[in-house]
Amino acid sequence: MLHSIDIFPTDRLRTPKRLSEQPLIHHSAVIYESQIGSYTDIGPGCTIAESVFDDYSYAAGDASIIYAEVGKFCSIASHARINPGNHPMDRVTQHHMTYRRVEYGFDSTDDVEFFKWRRDHRCVIGHDVWLGHAVVVMPGVTIGTGAVVGSQAVVTKDVAPYQVVAGVPARPIRMRFSDDVIAKLLSIQWWNWDRCTLKERFNDLRDVPAFIAKYG
């Protein structure tokens, strides 16, 4: 016998989201020393630290974004990890007691230089980038505007604009458009249009040839 369940628990009524200039941040998310853009949506369990998360971008949930620059209109699926932590493989032990020394009572200060390396190798995510479920973007990697990264890929090298990559490590699959179309889209830079212009030209975003003919 099948039971029809409309909502469970019954007190969790789903209300449609309404984004605005004020970022929409889930109460379980953690944000530290970051700049968050307008019309952004940061889902449950997300962590954003010392990063920029620009206009219209969203993180679906349980994403970790640390020491990164995320452009506008980015779509970040759940459990993505941008700039994950690393361990010192060149030391006798790679355990984090050698750099989180205070926690273990081995010193009065932590290993500042070790943490500085990760801060100095920020990730850069361009505009209109789609990161699939559980994607990992390693420190120092740049992902170009319009790129797509397949689910569970580990990105160890830079990704070109409008390139589709997937796998472990991530490898090129194809380009979304021809070189000529890519060049024109990068030249138009629609992601920098203000709100009024975007609303006025919104319906043109679905047809690439017509869009380029009109604005390129």
CATH value at residue 59: 2.160.10.10
pLDDT at 16: 79
* Residue 28 counted as domain residue: yes
> How many domains are contained in the chain?
2
Task: State whether 155 and 79 are in the same domain.
Answer: yes
pLDDT tens profile 180-196: 999 999 999 999 999 99
CA distances from 98 to 54, 87, 117, 118, 120 (A): 35, 10, 15, 16, 20
Tell me: pLDDT of 168 over 80.
Answer: yes
Co-location of 171 and 184 in the same domain: no
Give the confidence band of 126 by pLDDT, cuts at 50, 70, 90: very high
Written as six digits, the tokens of 187 are 């030249």
Written as six digits, the tokens of 48 are: 């954003």
State whether 61 and 131 are in the same domain.
yes
- Is the pLDDT at 165 greater than 90? The verdict is yes
Are 74 and 140 contained in the same domain? yes
* HEC secondary structure over the chain: CCCCCCCCCCCCCCCCCCCCCCCEECCCCEEECCEECCCCEECCCCEEECCEECCCCEECCCCEEECEEECCCCEECCCCEECCCCCCCCCCCCCHHHCCCCCCCCCCCCCHHHHHHHHHCCEEECCCCEECCCCEECCCCEECCCCEECCCCEECCCECCCEEEECCCCEEEEECCCHHHHHHHHHHCHHHCCHHHHHHCHHHHHCHHHHHHHHC
Give 18's pLDDT tier (boundaries 50, 70, 90): very high
| Residues classed as catalytic | 87
Q: How confident is the model at residue 17 (pLDDT cuts 50, 70, 90)?
A: confident
Q: What span, in angstroms and rounded, lies between the C-alpha atoms of 36 and 99?
A: 30
Q: Is residue 3 part of a domain?
A: no
Pair (168, 127) in one structural domain: yes
- Residue 197 belongs to a domain: yes
Mean pLDDT of 123-130: 98
User: Do the domain assignments include residue 52?
Assistant: yes
Q: Is residue 185 included in any domain, yes or no?
A: yes
137 lies in some domain: yes
Q: Does a structural domain hold residue 107?
A: no
- Which residue range is the domain that position 207 belongs to? 177-216
Residues 127, 56: Cα–Cα separation, whole Å: 10
Residues 6+ apart with CB under 8 A from 45: 26, 28, 29, 61, 62, 63
Please report where in the chains the tokens 């009109």 appear, as a residue.
Answer: 214
Indicate if 127 and 44 belong to the same structural domain: yes
Same domain for 158 and 189: no
Whole-number pLDDT of residue 146:
98
- Say if residue 77 is in the same domain as residue 132: yes
31 lies in the same domain as 50: yes
Indicate whether 125 and 216 sit together in one domain.
no
Same structural domain for residues 171 and 181?
no
pLDDT of residue 13: 62
Do 138 and 192 reside in the same domain of the chain?
Answer: no
